[in-house]
């Protein structure tokens, strides 16, 4: 198996209403690589953002079928990680890495 680069394992942050509510509880949501596991994600977040990760939860979003003008199309699925940070720490998503 090819080793996943630490920058490639974290795709992009997810900024939604629910993710904003979670940010009040020291949690941040990211879209991650399909083959990344909790240990890889934790290590990479700590390297990239220089924060202490307490917990990592992973959710697999399934592929969804949509009908558009009578034709079937699919919205691709992805893996998302909810990162819980140590109290008092945060990740500023508005600045670049």
Domains and CATH numbers, the chain: 6-85 (3.30.70.330)
Burial class (CB in 10 A: 0-12, 13-18, 19+), 93: middle
Residues 51-64, mean pLDDT to the nearest whole number: 96
Average pLDDT, the chain: 90
Structure confidence at residue 77 as a pLDDT band (50, 70, 90): very high
Sequence-distant (6+) residues with CB within 8 A of 71 are none
- Given a cut of 90, whether residue 56 has pLDDT beyond it is yes
> Between vectors from CA 8 to CA 31 and to CA 12, what angle results, nearest 5°?
30
Share of the chain above pLDDT 70, in %: 90
Provide the 10 A C-beta neighbour count for residue 28: 22
Segment 53-68 mean pLDDT? 95
């Amino acid at each position: 198996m090819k080793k996943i680069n630490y920058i490639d394992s974290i795709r992009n942050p997810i900024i939604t209403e629910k993710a904003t509510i979670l940010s009040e509880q020291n949690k941040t949501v990211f879209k991650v690589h399909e083959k990344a596991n909790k240990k890889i994600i934790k290590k990479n977040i700590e390297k990239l953002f220089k924060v202490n990760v307490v917990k990592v939860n992973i959710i697999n979003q399934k592929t969804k079928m949509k009908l558009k003008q009578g034709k079937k199309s699919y919205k691709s699925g992805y893996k998302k990680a909810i990162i819980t940070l140590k109290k008092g720490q945060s990740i500023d998503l508005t600045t670049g890495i």
